[in-house]
Structures are given as C-alpha cells and as structure tokens.
Amino acid sequence: MRDVVLVTADSVRYDFADDMPFVDSLDPILGITAGHYTRPSLGGLHSARLGGSVRSKAVSPTIAEVLQDAGYTCLGAAATAQADPAFDFDGGFDQYENFMDGGGNAVENRRSSLREYLGQFEIVRAVYHRFFPMEAVLSGLPPDDEVIDHAIERFNDAEGPRFLWVHLMDSHRPYGRGDDALPVEIDRKAEASGRDSILPDPELTDEEHDELVDTYRQALGRTDERIERLTDEIDAEDPILVVTSDHGDELGEEEYYYHQGYRRRVPDPIVQVPLAIDGIDVAADRASLLDVGPTIASAVGAEIPEVWRGTDLQEAGTERAATVAPWHDEATVALRDRESTLVAADADVSFEEGGEEAAVGRADVDESVEQRLQELGYKDAG
C-alpha cells in the first residue's frame, strides 16, 4: 500500500497559489473549505462530513482512524492549539505531536463570566476592540522548519505503509517571525478594520496595505519551500501527496482583513483554497475539502465509512459545496455552486448525522489552550 502525506498550510488563499511555485506545479484545483477558520475547517476535513465543522472538532471515524484500520502507521504533527487533542484531532494517530504545553484535555472553562456577559453588548465590544485591538504572534509555536524536521524523522523511522499529516503555521498572521513578520502596528490596525460598529474603524494607508499583502506573499513562498523540502526528504517511493489549506484570509476586501471566528464570515477569500493532489488521477476542477478523506481512502483500497459525505475525486468533483461557520451557539451557513452562493447568517444549526446529533456550541477548554488561541489573535476558543 502506498504512503500518504497530507499537508495543510494555514491561511492560504486559492488566488494566491501562484506565490507557491512548488504547490502551483502540482496544478491545484479550487477547494471549498468546510469551515471559516482552522478548527471547524480541519474538523470537517478529517471527519469527511459537516458534523466535524458544526462541532468544531474531529468526529470519528476520521481519516487517520480509517487508514489505521487499513494497516497504516499514522503520524500527526500540528503546531496549533486549534488542533489540540482536546478537540479529538489525535484520534487514530499512532504518534501525534501538537507541540502545546499543558493542553490536551477539556476541563471546566475558566473564562471570566463578567467579561462574557459584557461581551454580549455591541457597544462594549466596539469600545474594547477599538482601543485594544488584538495582535497575533507566532513566537509561542515552533517554527515550521522544526515541525518539518520532526515529521521527516518520525516518518522515516516508522513502518509502512504510513500516513502523515502536517499542519504548518508560519503562513498565519502576522505572516512571519521577527523581522519577517508584519509590524505590530499594521497587524493591529488591520485586525480592527471592518467591524461595522458604532465607532469608526481605522483604515490602512495604501502603503500599509501593500506591505501587508507583500508580507503575506513572502510567507507563502517560505511555506512552499518547506513543503517541497518535506517531500524531498521523506523516505517514500511514489507517495500520495495532498496539499491544501484550512482557510484563506481577507486582505482588505469589504474593508476586512484576516479571518476571525466571531465574525462568521464566508466570503471567497476565506473559503476558497488550493487543493493539490499528486499521485492520484483527479476527475475534477473544484472540490469540497470533505472530499479529501474519501479520495485518499479509495485510492489506497481502504473502506469508506457510510457516514462520510465527501466525494471520491477520482470519479467526480463536487458541484455544490457547503461551509458551516460556527461561533459560540450560532453559525453562518453557505452553499456554493459554480454560479452563485446562498448564505444563511446567524442560524441555530443542529442535525442528526449517523444517528448522532451534531449541534453548534461553545468550546470548554483548558486555560492554556485558550491562552494559545489568544496569542494567535482569536478572542477565545469559540
């Protein structure tokens, strides 16, 4: 059985794929994410159904569990609190490294009840975020090169067939570390824009906007080099390689920048990502990321679970793709076909899937996980 390598790089827009020469050489197709930020998107991808997006977690049976049952040694390396074992992303992996200190188990939430209560009011949120915009830092995470080194070592030491998932973070805002990163002043200003709130929003100058976009492009180029190094240095003959992203980023469209879970936005710059598949003949030019699991499983002869809802891209593409954007107890739901997008905002989303109810709800996580998410610029765990 062939080795399988799945790489997800954070925040890569489909229309910026040509800034990643190696990935672009794989002729990526248009991918539609199942969620609007990392956790619901990866939850949908690994679960191959919208239940993972609605719950913002990996839901069994996952890709790793299916391949493990088929005899694979499954290895995961994901340096983000969004993929903490508290959200079940370690399920099915023989070795799973999250690079987080103190995370791993969901416990009683320690959020301030007063802060949550005051946060219900638009004027309070507007004042707070206008004067205290959030910045993002990557210093609490290992550099992608270290994650790649770890993945290569574990992969080459493991018995085959092997399934490797690597999630890379250096393409996440602020798009680098140290001198490579976007200046804090611009990062904060961009994050605070587009709120449609009572207070006026800050506006980036043309020069600041151009610096932000250029910094983003450079980050994508560095990420591309690391993906190519991973494929060059793993000890595998004729592996199946899948490269995609959890979501994109807004770069000033409709005066918004980045991605933020609380906004529940589902525009094309966030939802459309590249999906490059090498080693499998794909009969599609567009797909949902829910299709990744069935395509991999079919290609290696593993049994596809009945509860999976994705399409085997060896047979056809996905003409109509759904994205669920949950935050706390509500969600925005978008349905896309080739011609149009239907969006339902501020909806209570719950449904039965495989005999089990899936519903949007708040995440109760360890305080250390919450802190890690805030370092990346998120308000809370969602």
| Number of other residues whose CB lies within 10 A of the CB of residue 202 | 15
Q: Residue 361's pLDDT is what? A: 59
pLDDT of residue 370: 54
> pLDDT at position 113, please?
46
Contact at 8 Å (CB) between 208 and 186? yes
As a residue count, the chain comes to 382
Please name which of 48, 62, 49, 53 lies closest in space to residue 93, comparing C-alpha atoms.
62
Distance (Å, rounded) from C-alpha 176 to C-alpha 132? 22
Q: Spell out the domain ranges in the chain.
A: 4-375
Tokens of 310: 């994705």
Q: Could you say which DSSP state residue 154 is in? A: H
pLDDT value for 358:
60
The confidence score (pLDDT) of residue 340 equals 85
Residue 100 has a pLDDT of: 80
Enumerate residue ranges in the chain where pLDDT < 50.
Answer: 102-119, 127-128, 131
What integer pLDDT is reported at residue 108 of this predicted model? 31
Distance CA(31)–CA(336), nearest Å, equals 11
Order of all β-strands in the sheet with 321-327: 321-327, 330-336, 341-347
What are phi and psi for residue 201, nearest 5 degrees?
-90, 145
pLDDT tens profile 73-92: 999 999 999 999 999 999 99
Chain mean position to CA 66: 21
pLDDT at 112: 44
Assign a CATH topology to domain 4-375: Alkaline Phosphatase, subunit A (3.40.720)
